[in-house]
Amino acid sequence: MAGNSQPLTAPALRARKGTGSPIVAVTAYDAFHGQLLAEAGIDIALVGDSLGMVVQGHQTTLPVTLDEMVYHTRMVGRGTAGRVFLLADLPFGSYQSSPEEAVRSALRLVKEGGAQAVKLEGGKDYLRHVAAIVSSMIPVVGHLGLLPQRVHAMGGYRVAGRSPEEADRILREAKDLVDAGIFALVLEGIPRELAAGITREIPVPVIGIGAGPDTDGQVLVIHDLLGWTPEERRPRFARRFADGRGEALRALGDYSRAVKDRRFPTEEESFHSHAP
């Protein structure tokens, strides 16, 4: 697939609402990922705090720091080279205490990391934070439903919005976030029916992850979709589009055997003191 013909912007992505052209987003954590997404014509590279789990080996996203998010965002941006919209997560502890802290953290992701927009988790408790960031001329994406940064408060990773009361709350918070200024909303781990209703109700694009097929777009973790995640850890909603882990293990095994059997390197793969 060819890359994007011209760089995407927040207004251009918002304008995709209702056009019948779904938004395609994939997480990315380094320059190599960024290059892959650009060459594949992906719309959004999300530098997610999920890097804490899939890159750093933590059990949750909570240990990820703002410095680390700036570092990884900068790397991804080198890879995308402006050909993919660059969205970065505000990590746990970088925005919760005040709108002023949220603005400072968002400014770092844009100025130092090169992000074009930031994403933060939560609804009613962070409306002032969202509005303050937007007032600082930084586009914001909201995130409702299953909130990984609230894993301890929620008692684990669970589907959100199954009760009528919780579904009503998520819908209200989605509308409130729109009023606060978000240009798009991620819905994670909620029933398909709720995601479809919110998608109809709000005027900004809704990007789903584990939220069914009726949203305005989808996002997946690159390790999940390429099959790098061990099967026992792959979320139910994450389809494997390749067997990346299997192919990597096969290649590594072939390399190991070739070295041990002295079949690598060959004469053609060797240098000599005097070039012919």
* Residue positions annotated with a catalytic role: 188
| Residue 112 known to bind ligand | no
Instruction: Report which secondary-structure segment, H or E, holds 166.
Output: helix 164-180
Contact 102, 90 (CB under 8 A): yes
Question: What are the tokens at 117?
Answer: 């927009």
By three-state DSSP, how is residue 87 classified? strand
Q: Cα-flanking dihedrals φ and ψ of residue 245, to 5°?
A: -65, -45
| Residue 50 annotated as lining a ligand binding site | yes
Residues 218, 189: contact at Cβ < 8 Å? no
Establish whether 30 is an annotated binding residue.
no
List the one residue out of 53, 81, 13, 5 whose CA is nearest residue 217.
13
In sequence order, the 6+-apart residues with CB closer than 8 A to the CB of 213 are: 192
CB 57 within 8 A of CB 87: no
Cβ proximity of 147 and 188 under 8 Å: yes
CA distance 156 to 2: 40
> Is 261 part of any known ligand binding site?
no
Hey, which residues does 51 pair with through a beta bridge? none
Does 254 show up as a binding residue in the annotation?
Answer: no
Q: How far is CA 157 from CA 13, 16, 237, in A?
A: 29, 31, 13
Q: How far apart are CA 104 and CA 267, in angstroms?
A: 57
Give the residue ranges of the annotated binding site for Mg(2+).
49, 89, 121
Give the residue ranges of the annotated binding site.
49-50, 89, 119, 121
Give the residue ranges of the annotated binding site for 3-methyl-2-oxobutanoate.
49-50, 89, 119
